[in-house]
Chains A and B, each alone.
Chain A
Amino acid sequence: MCGIVGLFLKDQSLAPELGNMLTDMLITMTDRGPDSAGIAIYGDGAQGKTKITLQSPNAESDFANLAEDLGKSLGATVTQNDISTHTVLEIPAGQFEAARDALAEIRPDVRIMSRGDTLEIYKEVGLPKDVAERFNLSGMTGTHGIGHTRMATESAVTTMGAHPFNTGSDQCLVHNGSLSNHNSLRRKLRREGVVIQTENDTEVGAAYLTWKMMNGASLGEALESSLDDLDGFFTFVVGTKDGFGVVRDPIACKPAVMAETDQYVAFGSEYRALVNLPGIEDARVWEPEPATVYFWTHNDSTTPSQKAA
């Protein structure tokens, strides 16, 4: 069992409240996942910069002078913003791979939580309310975000095993369920050059979507093909820089409730997670269909709400 929450804002006047609303939803899902919790949030991004969110078990020593040291290695200006066990670095765009290699040299213990133009991921072991407090999640702002509360079944309870997973720029995925063909798929994806950091099944699901999109698929198409290529139980909620998607396996035994108003699209493992959202009484509330891809985007070239299947 795990808990998933997600919020995609259509009305950007709610952006300052995004962290607050998501945190409330996340803590409500504590019963479904008290092991660890995490949140992916799509906030501000600076032109020409890439954000890297890092975590370290020795944050104090690892983060000391980190921006300066990494800046020297890259020959560029790097900024850092420490939040508890995490820090968000801003590096020049296009330098992520160089930064990853440099970090392995200068700070071998840090782990990369996420990378992207606007995405930041914060996740830790512990009760959702403690994780939320540690990172002051309720104070975060953004256009959309996804949260997860974990009750581990498939791999160890560690920071790296917590969700969301980020396997490509600005992509994130959370999962309720378990995948049964993750070992063979992990080997295949690694051969294809996709970086997979853990033995966790969900990271393989995320890496699969990244690999599909690397090869030209849209998020909708990647989700569609996941129904054929992933074996197991899953309700996935995924984020991209401007999009938000949901898909459930054909058996659909992992719960899912969605709500849509003029202001937002919301996802919860249970309706309980949605009850404090503004205007929920008059929202369209429904259970997403099995084996059906749902996808929303801020990109004006597509319709704001579409069922890609």
Chain B
Amino acid sequence: MQTYDLEADGLRGMNSILQAQSGETNQTSWEIVNPKGSHAIAVGLDAPIEVTVKGSTGYYCAGMNQQATVHVVGSVGPGVAENMMSGTVIIDGDASQYAGATGHGGLLVIKGNASSRCGISMKGIDIVVHGNIGHMSAFMAQAGNLVVCGDAGDALGDSLYEARLFVRGSVKSLGADCVEKEMRHEHLEILADLLERAGADAKPEEFKRYGSARQLYNFDVDNAAAY
């Protein structure tokens, strides 16, 4: 276990050390202490390492993550795991605006609540929120899965493309072109897998599925394989 004191040794040093780790590194386990709400902690990682942040962070924690597992023992500010490509990001507390925005892959787990615009423009990332999410979540979401064990705020899935949205609690309102859809066997399987990987104590059968009505964009069933 390598320990890095962010307050004492600075942000740039931490990110350059973590970004320098390769797939062959023996330093696979890192602990960041004294984050004190700093921005851009553990961004741009590209190695199968585990980073634990002991405290709450500011903007853009774990952005652009590839391969790494980043675990925040606290809450995170806006834009956590923004544009994540792969790997896992776990937040023990709450997440502010646009968690997982534009993410292409990987798994983002938020054990508390996420605020507005969670999963905005997501492009393949899987997001599991144990609590509630705020308004305008999954706006223009293109691919991936957003799982919400609590409630969703206003305008869920507005202008949605092909992302799947699963909500266990209430949805305050659906956005334009977002509709409730039939929960089929394959969806229950996806959901069961995500809930298990996210450590969420919920049953797939308790969720409803929402998706795009495909009235707002030029969806053609003949091209379905391309989506």
Task: Report how far A253 CA is from B116 CA in the complex, Å.
Answer: 8
CB atoms of A270 and B135 under 8 A apart: no
A271 in the interface, Cβ–Cβ < 8 Å?
yes
Chain B interface residue count, Cβ-Cβ cutoff 8 angstroms: 18
Total A-B residue pairs with C-beta atoms closer than 8 Å?
A: 45
A271 pairs with B77, CB closer than 8 A: yes
Q: Does B135 contact A287, Cβ atoms closer than 8 Å?
A: no
Majority DSSP secondary structure for residues of A touching B: loop
When the two chains form the complex, which single residue of A272, A275, A285, A290 contacts B116, counting CB atoms closer than 8 Å?
A290
A-side contacts of B116, CB under 8 Å: 251-253, 290
From the candidates B36, B77, B97, name the one contacting A275 in the complex (CB within 8 A). Answer: B36
Which B30-65 residues have C-beta < 8 A from chain A?
A: 36-39, 56-59
- Tell which of A251, A272, A289 touches B58, judged by Cβ atoms closer than 8 Å: A272
Of the candidates B36, B38, B75, B115, the one whose C-beta lies within 8 Å of that of A285 is B75
- List, in ascending order, chain A residues with CB within 8 A of B38's CB: 272
Complex interface residues of chain A between 262 and 276 (CB less than 8 A to chain B)? 270-275
* Contact call B37/A290, Cβ cutoff below 8 A: no
Residues 82-101 of chain B, each 1 if its beta carbon lies under 8 Å from chain A, else 0: 00000000000010110000
CB < 8 Å neighbour of B94 from A250, A252, A270, A287: A287
B119 within 8 A of A: no
Main secondary structure on B side of the interface with A: loop
Q: Does B135 lie within 8 Å of A290, measured CB to CB?
A: yes
User: Considering the chains assembled together, what is the distance between the CA atoms of A293 and B166 in angstroms?
Assistant: 30
**CB atoms of A271 and B58 under 8 A apart:** yes
Give the residues in chain B near A274, CB-CB below 8 Å. Answer: 37
Q: In this complex, what residue of A is CB-closest to B59? A: A270
Closest to A288 in B: B115
* Cα distance A273–B39 in the bound complex, in angstroms: 12
Please, which residues of chain A bring their CB within 8 A of the CB of B56? 271, 285
A183 vs chain B, min Cβ distance (A)? 28
**Docked CA distance A251–B94 (Å):** 19
Most buried by A among B39, B56, B75: B56
Give A210 to B19 CA distance when docked, in angstroms: 53
Contact at A255–B37, with CB atoms within 8 Å?
Answer: no
Asked if B36 contacts A255 (CB within 8 A), the reply is no
Question: Does B157 make an interface contact (CB < 8 A)?
Answer: no
Q: Which of A209-260 contact B (CB under 8 A)?
A: 250-253, 255, 257
Q: What is the distance, in angstroms, from A286's C-beta to the closest C-beta of chain B?
A: 7
Asked if B78 lies at the interface with its beta carbon under 8 angstroms from chain A, I say yes
Residues in A lying within 8 Å of B, measured CB to CB: 250-253, 255, 257, 270-275, 285-287, 289-290
Can you list 12 A-B contacts (CB < 8 A)?
A: A251-B116, A252-B115, A270-B37, A270-B77, A271-B57, A271-B75, A272-B38, A272-B39, A275-B37, A285-B94, A287-B96, A290-B135
Which chain B residues have a beta carbon within 8 Å of chain A's beta carbons? 36-39, 56-59, 75, 77-78, 94, 96-97, 115-116, 134-135
With contacts A272-B37, A285-B94 known, what are 16 further pairs, Cβ within 8 A?
Answer: A250-B135, A252-B97, A252-B134, A252-B135, A253-B97, A255-B96, A257-B77, A257-B96, A270-B58, A270-B77, A274-B37, A275-B37, A285-B75, A287-B96, A289-B134, A290-B135
